[in-house]
Structure 1
Amino acid sequence: MVLGGLAMAKYGEKVLQELTAADIEDTGVSHSKAVEICKGLVRIVRSTQGAGSLWNKISHEVLLPVHPHALHRLLYHSTYRNWNSELLGPPPAWTPALEEAKQTNIGRVLTARGEEILVSYKDPVASFKEFYELSVDNPEVYWNIVLDELSLKFQERPSCILKLDQTKFLGEPCPGGRWLPGAVLNAAECCLLLDSKERAQDAAIMWRDEGQDDSPISRLTMAELRERVCRVANALEGAGFRKGDAIAINMPMNVHAVVIYLAIVLAGCAVVSIADSFAPSEIASRLKISKAKGIFTQDVILRGQRIHPLYNRVVEANGPRAIVLPASDQEMKVSLREGDMSWDTFLELASIVDRPDDFKAVAMDIEDTSNILFSSGTTGDPKAIPWTHATPIKAAADAWAHHDIRHKDVVAWPTNLGWMMGPWLIYAALLNRASIALYNGAPLGYGFAKFVQDARVTMLGLVPSIVKAWRSSDAVNGCDWSHLRCFSSSGEASNVDDYLWLMSQAKYKPIIEYCGGTEIGGAFVTGSMLQPQSLSAFSTPAMGCRIIILDDHGHPLPSDKPATGECALDPSIFGSSLRLLNANHFNVYYKGMPKFQEKTLRRHGDEIERTVGGYYRAHGRVDDTMNLGGIKVSSVEIERVCNSAHEDVLETAAIGVPPSGGGPEQLLIVVVLKEGRNDISLESLKKIFNAAIQAKLNPLFKVNFLTLKNLKCWFFPYDVVINSISFAGKCSGHCSFTTSYCLQ
């Protein structure tokens, strides 16, 4: 490698061996540092074979978080300059070391039992694929291993792992069979087990409030968490709630929300998950569908110096009796309706029992409802999806197998109980004996980044929009994230360059891409700490889940070859939904689906690609659902709001369009005005649409682009150029029109 030169190498235009000190200096490092880096690269190149091995050494031995991202990008793309993705698949950004792989949860099991349970065991990395195949072909063996690993307490053991005969659940067919039939347990009780003095003193939850960046981390031990949960469960009984009642939570995900969630489940009731960002109409629809008998909420939400109403939205939604918590230690900022009660008054109801800090968990059948969550439906009405007491086991099993969450780990994931990742976080951490890390504030700035450092988070989950915000604001600068063992990403499409930057902030720890659904309770495709991980790609189907890709005629494509098509799933997925509250479950997920190995496939709705090398990429929905900021919403819902937002609007089309470089979808609204109504400006109409969408659907939604069109033809081009930004590929939805028109 030449150590001098004047040529400026654009990213990927030179192979690694051709880079000069001048090329490196042009990325923003000093001349002396560039020469030093160049010498390090020469040493690595001379002693290393293969681009993957080269990048592994460069990322761990040369690059540092303080280096300009331009240097990281230059070395990454130069290393893989001659990589042939068509023959080799996407290049790895991280490769597991065998000794570290042996310390993972799966690695420990395979090191101890690999030769016993696998036909041709070699080591945890080389035998990972065989272990995955065992998880789908021999569920009895795999799930017995997982159940032994997790913190579970069965009040009655199941008769078997999976019952595959032609059983029904509440009158509907169950093509995937019934999991753990006859089992009785309580998922919340399993989270709160104190089987040793050491466990009682383990940190259960740690948190910090926004604006308190230099204050100590607040902590709640497992013993303290159990006492608080039991007190709330006793108060629930004192308030007249009984087994099977639906009780909503509409508040930020803080320590109180976690305590309330666990208490509702412990008392044998079902949590109704409502995001704290929802408008009153969205709150009302979820309360009505779930038949909630009560709701926990806060008076307001505090974000920095801003105060956002919350309780008043519940009142406007005509919600049931509410228990209202103050957002701060100060007095309540609202006056309560007749019949509602303050948090302190509610807790006093626990005093009717002799031991308010103790509570006997209500025994629940494995198929009883523990949580009611909602997913956007193509009709505009949210699908009400009951989680059973098996679903938490699926969430915890994914965390055990794919995120490698272990005893005394610290898990952070900015989310809310209104979305599946909120309950997922509770079960993923506590059932694996790890701690939950919660930041009470916006996760977009330095305060959250420093909290991750100070709490010594080991697994950090996120959505790509957060990463983009961190990168643009340099929020992570100066924070030490070396204690992270991995990231995880879910909710929306990620951007390769953003995620290269993210990995660089933690000295190149892997990003486990994680894609599934509320109705699954976890993922169907994800990554693994025992496989090389590529940027913005999935490396494996989830354990216990088989993916089938369908061609344009609905026929299954070969599983051992690259393919792109609609994603279908083997119906035997542990913890997945068995019913819907407001729709026929069989019709939604199975009607019209082909069979594979004599089982009717389960509809998922994503278009998916399997690449050379066995990686997967998701290409959005095949229905009219889009993903905005990690929140799924149907185009029908947005169009319905926009159609009535202004009297001059005849019709609208809502389209979620991914940027050409990858990343979160952006919202395009195409508008047809009534005849003769052409005097309204695009900018004013955009403001009107934004105000209506944020008031009636979600304040986090935003119209990125808007265009006016005439009634002409019905053709939509696949490549849309808007305001000089190119969006390549087809839109995520089928854009519902009663009258169609073109973009040209």
Structure 2
Amino acid sequence: MSYTTEYQRAIESPEAFWKEKAQALPWSRFPETILSKDDNDIYRWFADGEMNTCYMALDYHVENGRGDQPALIYDSPVTGTKATYTYRKLHEEVAKFASVLAGKGVEKGDRVVIYMPMIPQAVIAMLASARLGAVHSVVFGGFAPHELAVRIEDASPKVLVTASCGIEVTKVLPYKPLVDEAISLSAHKPDSVIVYQRPEQLAELSADDTDWDSAMATATPAPCTVVQATDPLYILYTSGTTGKPKGVVRDNGGHAVALKYSMQAIYNMAPGEVFWAASDVGWVVGHSYIVYGPLLHGCTTVVYEGKPVKTPDAGAFWRMTEEYKIKALFAAPTAFRAIRKEDPDAKLVEKYDISSLKTIFMAGERLDPPTYLWTVDKTGKPVIDHWWQTETGWAICANPAGLEDLPVKPGSSTVPVPGFNVQVLDHTGKPLPAGEQGAIAIKLPMPPGCLPTIWGDCERFKHAYLEAYPDYYTSGDGGFKDDDGYVFIMGRTDDVINVAGHRLSTGEMEEIVAAHQAVAECSVIGVHDSLKGQVPVGLVLLKDGVDIDEDTLQQELVAMIRKEIGPLACFHRAVVVPRLPKTRSGKILRKLLRQIAANHEVAVPSTIDDPASVPEIQEIMQKQGLVKS
């Protein structure tokens, strides 16, 4: 079936289309109601269906002859450890840990926060929560205590699961002190903390803590709990524009249907083949394509602990491909830019047999044409750029390798995936013709797998995504379509920046910078970085009479951001400026500053109090090397 035929079926007859796709999964009760609206007037998929995601991902495969097939490969160059879990072994570990959670009082609907490094136990904890019908919320292990505390307070978990330490290249990072501090900062206190002890550094446990291995030694397997398709599977926090992270909710039924479909339609994977998403389970890519997508489809997934371009060398992608016969590799463009920097002639590619690799997928940030062309040239493999968001859970636009290989246009994420009716709108909500830039939006209903709400705040969900353009989901990205319907994403329309594939709020960073006693006003903007795509830079106005060395100020601000958000923010620059462009009402023109940073032509609006401040700031940014002259 061609892409065009499949896409038209999904748009014109969505209920028949997704009912057909749902039949590929083993339901406890197959849904009769395919599409409906809930009490909040939000579209929901498969409302009367009953199922369990963990059963679909593990038990079903064991029952149908895949018990001895590798389900999960663990490769950790930072510890020199490798392990393979068959579907049967992974099922046993998950069922036992589900029993451990149940022993701590976890029931259907309860929340479990998971703060762990890239180890199999993180995946086991996620699947065990799903087995009980509980709602997991994985927090990236690089986040500082404050960020973890905010998520604990919002999700109000019954149990928190962690490890004694994580490992960043060669540095051992103790997790338990971070967890203890986060719990002390949070108004909500979990009933229990379960700790997986790693030999690299053991944690000191209190009387209220539980040792993972000790609890597992006496656990008996727990059965699956049947849930409604619309019951939440997980909460994943993404940066919001107000500084408070948004808890994206993913339901069970639509999520399973969408990811199962995507493994074939987008990634061209078959059961039994090896898929590697080189991400972290703390991000949406890890949720969708390290854990759930591959396992729902009966594939083998890879959990890699380390940074592929640093541990042990820039040839890690190719070494892994040869060793595990990986068919599809998925990573952010940042990773390939780093590899290109370390190995520009791709000599390490020649060192390994990568014949098993059929396709390289990139997402998480814009794939610049030079990185695309270098990767294609040096590997000889097709490279597919695709665009999606934490909110959607799977690709909005892609070159659908499992349906049809479409011509590639560097700079474009190709075409909308079946189910996503992507439009480019002007400020009034009117669709724009080909070639004209506007806001990227998706006509409702969204396909299965997309968020139905924000945890505990449906009104915020409506305000953030549904109010700007009636009957559309607003993506927050801008771009255009060409005459062939290819979509080009040009960047964010809000203040969330993309740092190495991680969406981070500049608004949150501004709150931290503004708390410094020397700072009167500030703006944090994203500037182009050849490796990470974007990095934040603070533009700072000092209070009158303050005498502080600029290098000292920068060091203190960097330390504040690192403490509150974590090193992943990559905040390393703060520039003192004499003024910031503002509206007459006193609002800083952040969009204008972003345009300067992007080195666009900037027209000075008449509403700026001091028009001279724009070229002045532009000159300062040029001298600082933040924009080109």
Shift of 1:712: 5.9
1:366 paired residue number:
229
2:454 to 580, 594, 597: 580
Q: Structure 1 206/738 Cα, relative in aligned 2: closer, same or farther at 3 Å?
A: farther
In the aligned structure 1, how far is the partner of 2:11 from the partner of 2:489? 21
1:391 paired residue number:
255
Shift of 1:619: 1.7
TM-score using structure 2 length: 0.86
Partner amino acid for 1:613?
D
1:33 paired residue number:
none
1:688 paired residue number:
556
Is 1:244 the counterpart of 2:109? The answer is: yes
CA contact (8 A) 1:494 1:664 kept: no
Q: Deviations over 1:317-376 (max 9, x none)?
A: 115221111233x6x5221123111112221451xxxxx24x321000001111011111
Is 1:220 the counterpart of 2:85? The answer is: yes
Shift of 1:690: 2.0
Q: Deviations over 1:654-695 (max 9, x none)?
A: 111336x897112222111112335512x3333322222121
Q: Map 1:220-299 onto structure 2 (within 5 A).
A: 220-299=85-164
Q: Structure 1 712/292 Cα, relative in aligned 2: closer, same or farther at 3 Å?
A: closer
Partner amino acid for 1:676?
G
1:187 to 25, 49, 53: 53
1:94 paired residue number:
none
Q: Structure 1 571/338 Cα, relative in aligned 2: closer, same or farther at 3 Å?
A: farther
In the aligned structure 2, how far is the partner of 1:342 from the partner of 1:545? 45
Partner amino acid for 1:360?
P
1:636 paired residue number:
507
In the aligned structure 1, how far is the partner of 2:146 from the partner of 2:218? 31
CA contact (8 A) 2:326 2:357 kept: yes
1:311 paired residue number:
176
Shift of 1:137: 1.2
2:605 paired residue number:
none
| Mean Cα deviation higher: 613-622 or 288-297 | 613-622
In the aligned structure 2, how far is the partner of 1:627 from the partner of 1:739? 30
2:266 paired residue number:
402
Q: Structure 1 543/648 Cα, relative in aligned 2: closer, same or farther at 3 Å?
A: same
Partner amino acid for 1:563?
E
CA contact (8 A) 2:525 2:594 kept: no
Partner amino acid for 1:586?
K
Q: Deviations over 1:364-422 (max 9, x none)?
A: 00011110111111111011122110223323322321111211221112222221111
| Mean Cα deviation higher: 268-277 or 562-571 | 562-571
RMSD: 2.5
1:204 paired residue number:
71
In the aligned structure 2, how far is the partner of 1:526 from the partner of 1:730? 31
CA contact (8 A) 1:324 1:342 kept: yes
What's the secondary structure of 1:492's corresponding residue? coil
Q: Deviations over 1:278-333 (max 9, x none)?
A: 100100010110011111111111234311121111100115221111233x6x52
CA contact (8 A) 1:494 1:663 kept: no
Q: Structure 1 195/141 Cα, relative in aligned 2: closer, same or farther at 3 Å?
A: farther
Q: Deviations over 1:159-201 (max 9, x none)?
A: 13223xxx333xx112xx3311210001111001136664111
The structure whose Rg is larger is 1
CA contact (8 A) 1:186 1:364 kept: yes
Partner amino acid for 2:463?
N
2:327 paired residue number:
458
Shift of 1:155: 0.7
In the aligned structure 2, how far is the partner of 1:644 from the partner of 1:708? 15
CA contact (8 A) 2:506 2:536 kept: no
Percentage of identical aligned residues: 24
In the aligned structure 2, how far is the partner of 1:718 from the partner of 1:633? 15
Partner amino acid for 2:73?
M
Is 1:471 the counterpart of 2:340? The answer is: yes
CA contact (8 A) 1:492 1:663 kept: no
Is 1:698 the counterpart of 2:536? The answer is: no
What's the secondary structure of 2:533's corresponding residue? coil
In the aligned structure 2, how far is the partner of 1:142 from the partner of 1:226? 31
1:481 to 354, 358, 361: 354
Shift of 1:713: 4.1
2:300 to 435, 447, 450: 435
What's the secondary structure of 2:152's corresponding residue? helix
Shift of 1:612: 3.5
What's the secondary structure of 1:552's corresponding residue? coil
Q: Structure 1 335/739 Cα, relative in aligned 2: closer, same or farther at 3 Å?
A: farther
Shift of 1:209: 1.8
2:212 to 340, 343, 367: 343
In the aligned structure 1, how far is the partner of 2:265 from the partner of 2:233? 23
What's the secondary structure of 2:143's corresponding residue? coil
In the aligned structure 2, how far is the partner of 1:404 from the partner of 1:657? 35
Shift of 1:565: 0.5
Q: Structure 1 399/730 Cα, relative in aligned 2: closer, same or farther at 3 Å?
A: farther
In the aligned structure 1, how far is the partner of 2:52 from the partner of 2:378? 40
In the aligned structure 1, how far is the partner of 2:456 from the partner of 2:420? 26
Q: Structure 1 196/292 Cα, relative in aligned 2: closer, same or farther at 3 Å?
A: closer
Partner amino acid for 1:521?
G
- Structure 2 residues without counterparts, runs of 5 or longer: 184-188, 583-588, 603-607, 619-629
Q: Structure 1 343/663 Cα, relative in aligned 2: closer, same or farther at 3 Å?
A: closer
1:614 paired residue number:
485
In the aligned structure 2, how far is the partner of 1:240 from the partner of 1:713? 54
Q: Structure 1 485/188 Cα, relative in aligned 2: closer, same or farther at 3 Å?
A: same
1:658 paired residue number:
528
Partner amino acid for 2:44?
R
1:512 to 384, 388, 394: 384
In the aligned structure 2, how far is the partner of 1:424 from the partner of 1:255? 16
CA contact (8 A) 1:234 1:349 kept: no
In the aligned structure 1, how far is the partner of 2:316 from the partner of 2:328? 14
1:490 to 355, 363, 374: 363
Q: Structure 1 641/434 Cα, relative in aligned 2: closer, same or farther at 3 Å?
A: same
What's the secondary structure of 1:533's corresponding residue? coil
Partner amino acid for 1:302?
I
Partner amino acid for 1:248?
V
What's the secondary structure of 1:317's corresponding residue? helix
What's the secondary structure of 1:377's corresponding residue? coil
Partner amino acid for 1:525?
C
Partner amino acid for 1:518?
T
Partner amino acid for 2:230?
E
CA contact (8 A) 1:302 1:327 kept: no
In the aligned structure 1, how far is the partner of 2:177 from the partner of 2:271? 41
Partner amino acid for 1:519?
E
CA contact (8 A) 1:670 1:707 kept: yes
In the aligned structure 2, how far is the partner of 1:571 from the partner of 1:391? 17
1:593 paired residue number:
469
